[in-house]
Amino acid sequence: MEKIQIKLKRGLARTTEVQRANLKGLGLRKRESISIVADTEANRGMIRRVIHMLDVSRPNAESETKKSGVAVEVKPVSTEAKKAAPKKKTTKKKVAKKTATKSTKEKKS
């Protein structure tokens, strides 16, 4: 089955509920998100309603591996590297709050 790659190029602000529902149905949640969907009449209809917000193209092999997560490698951090890094102590500075009294307001006037 043919696939379509869709990229959301605009945010969801100032969109109608129907447009948001179509984008959710296509698997798009945030700006610049990419989704690969089947090329069916139902998906084409949803795309047609929000085409002004999308970049539509045929997917290439690289984007499919990114979506499936096959090409992504996660390297665990060794415990030795964690112990070697010195920890910095952070302290919060206390800041005195300024309160305006009647006498200070009168002096300013």
Tens-place pLDDT, residues 2-43: 999 999 999 999 999 999 999 999 999 999 999 999 999 999
Q: Which pLDDT belongs to residue 84?
A: 59
* Burial zone of 20 (CB within 10 Å; 0-12 exposed, 13-18 middle, 19+ buried): middle
Cα separation of the two ends of the chain: 78
Tens-place pLDDT, residues 35-65: 999 999 999 999 999 999 999 999 886 554 4
pTM for the complete prediction? 0.55
Average pLDDT in the chain: 78
